[in-house]
Amino acid sequence: MAKPAILTVDDDPEVLQAVSRDLRHQYGDRFRILRADSGITALDVVQQLKLRNEAVALFLVDQRMPQMGGVEFLEQAKGIFPDAKRALLTAYADTNAAIKSINSARLDYYLLKPWNPPEEKLYPVLDDLLDDWLAGFRPPFEGIRVIGNRWSPFSHQVKDFLARNQIPFKWLDIELEPEAAKLVEYAQADCRQQLPLVLFPDGSQLIQPSNFEIAAKIGLQTQAERPFYDLAIVGAGPAGLAAAVYGASEGLSTVLIEREAPGGQAGTSSRIENYLGFPIGLSGSDLARRGVTQARRFGVEILTPQVVTGVRLQDTYRVLQLADGSEISCHALLVATGVSYRWLNVPGAEKLAGAGIYYGAAMTEAIACSNEKVYLVGGANSAGQAAMHFSKYASKVIMLVRGESLSLSMSQYLIDQIAATENIQVCTGCSVVEVKGEKHLEAIVIAHAKTGQTETVPARSLFIFIGASPKTDWLDGVIQRDAQGFIITGPDLMDNGKSPRGWNLERSPFLLETNIPGIFAAGDVRYGSIKRVASGVGEGSIAIQFVHRYLSNV
């Protein structure tokens, strides 16, 4: 982190140069010495330091300055850095005024000009002040700060993107944090119309940024380094990451393209406890982080966020078309885009997405729900894992399950944990039929299948974990899919021994191969797959063996 600052202010150039010289000589190795020639300029410097999240240890300010005197500056500066020590430089004739200002500006000390020799008249006083400041100093958070509104879909998008890409950030709610409003003011942004405001450690800022803008700022790779690869993988969930690790480790030049963040839907899981080799479980983000580290170690290029909009065939090459207009060519293509949570299709839900209604997002929004009642829709493992995570923060977690029992779709270990958690309530035969609220979620209407009755209950947070829907429209006209969009592979493509449309080889498609030779599918996006992390990893690794067999004949 940057060294804490000492800011000295004086309108006399000679005095300013002299005091800066003496401060730098004694404290330059531990503190950054800054100077300003007026109170107005100094106030702007202080605001910029606050925006950069840097610390100020000491203000050493001349008393008599035009436009804004030293006392007036210190009164305003203490509101920005209340813990900084404050010392006034004053002439002998102004000592009475300096004494009177001790209370108004909460002055820690005043020093008479001239201060020569500094070893006797300056340093001993400042040593005491700085030692006292250092004793209570707690280094500020080093990283990105996001200032926004809890009910803003834009704010949720930024938080979710940073969290899922494992970028440390500090969240400041404009409604709850006094510091947030001040930072917005210093940045000259509109408190309500231009949030979220994203502040970066270098002092730069972005207002309502897109994921691509954030990615460019923090150095994520969004463009490929080469035009051609042996293997291109679309989707960085467990299947895609496993395929990338195995492909690159076995010598294939590999590029991995992810539209949101590595880890996929599994990456949002708060706790996965049935994955082999991790007896106490691990979070989805930990699994994603380990997979990304392993893939990069073997030389995989990971592009995120980047969206594949289409694919075309050109001789033996498969050409991916990207959202930014660029193209990537490859010999073999693996589609591992997984699935997304289905949207809640009830009145009011679309308007309130990101403003009280969230899809997944257990890790991102849990802290905001502290001591509140939380509603979850869904009865599979993802919903169960989320319920356990929310139970650590919320006063009560209510699971709304359409089926008659959790045992129809949830692992037994999760069912047992939920049953043993006092603040989790499972409501079977329940579904949400309407949501209400203007600017954010205010209430939900629950239908009870057993009684046929509905009830309206107040609600601030509703998390959706229903079903699974693949996003494979970009494969229209090329890859054969079922009615729901899942990719059909291997034996399922064969119709009474007949080869599928687009197949031009004498052999039959490999187990994970689509109707186009050299294009494979693995993980949840594949028709008939088992929706588990371990099976996704297994399919991703197995797919590489078929890729090698395909490439051996290209």
Q: Which of 136, 154, 187 is the last residue of a domain?
A: 136
Do both 155 and 249 map to the same domain? Answer: no
The pLDDT of residue 91 is 76
For the segment 355-385, what is each residue's pLDDT rounded down to a tens digit? 999 998 777 888 889 999 999 999 999 999 9
The CATH number that applies at residue 413 is: 3.50.50.60
The pLDDT of residue 102 is 66
Do both 293 and 176 map to the same domain? Answer: no
Note whether 341 and 463 are within 8 A (CB): no
The pLDDT of residue 1 is 66
Q: What is the dihedral of CA 392, 393, 394, 397, to 10 degrees?
A: -30
Do both 317 and 250 map to the same domain? Answer: yes
Q: Which of 11-15, 140-144, 375-379 has the lowest mean pLDDT?
A: 140-144
Domain that holds residue 370: 357-464
Q: Count how many domains the chain has.
A: 4
Mean pLDDT of the 291-305 span: 96
Do both 430 and 496 map to the same domain? Answer: no
The pLDDT of residue 545 is 97
- Whether 165 has a pLDDT exceeding 70, the answer reads yes
Do both 188 and 272 map to the same domain? Answer: no
Mean pLDDT of the 447-452 span: 94
Is 160 domain-assigned?
A: yes
The model's confidence at residue 203, banded by pLDDT at 50, 70 and 90, is: confident
For the segment 172-193, what is each residue's pLDDT rounded down to a tens digit? 999 988 889 899 988 887 656 7
Mean pLDDT of the 38-50 span: 95
Rounded distance, CA 132 to CA 202, Å?
Answer: 28
Do both 17 and 124 map to the same domain? Answer: yes
* Segment of 77-81, 278-282, 494-498 carrying the highest mean pLDDT: 77-81
Nearest to 304 by CA among 251, 369, 244, 380: 244
**What one-letter code names the amino acid at 136?**
G
For residue 395, which phi and psi values (nearest 5 degrees)? Answer: -70, -35
The pTM of this model reads: 0.84
Do both 374 and 438 map to the same domain? Answer: yes
Is 267 domain-assigned?
A: yes
Nearest to 460 by CA among 385, 393, 405, 414: 393
For the segment 306-323, what is each residue's pLDDT rounded down to a tens digit? 999 999 999 999 999 999
Do both 129 and 148 map to the same domain? Answer: no
Do both 202 and 289 map to the same domain? Answer: no
The pLDDT of residue 257 is 98
Q: What are the structure tokens assigned to 413, written together? A: 């270990």
Do both 35 and 123 map to the same domain? Answer: yes
Is 346 domain-assigned?
A: no
- Whether 326 has a pLDDT exceeding 70, the answer reads yes
Mean pLDDT of the 216-227 span: 94
Is 395 domain-assigned?
A: yes
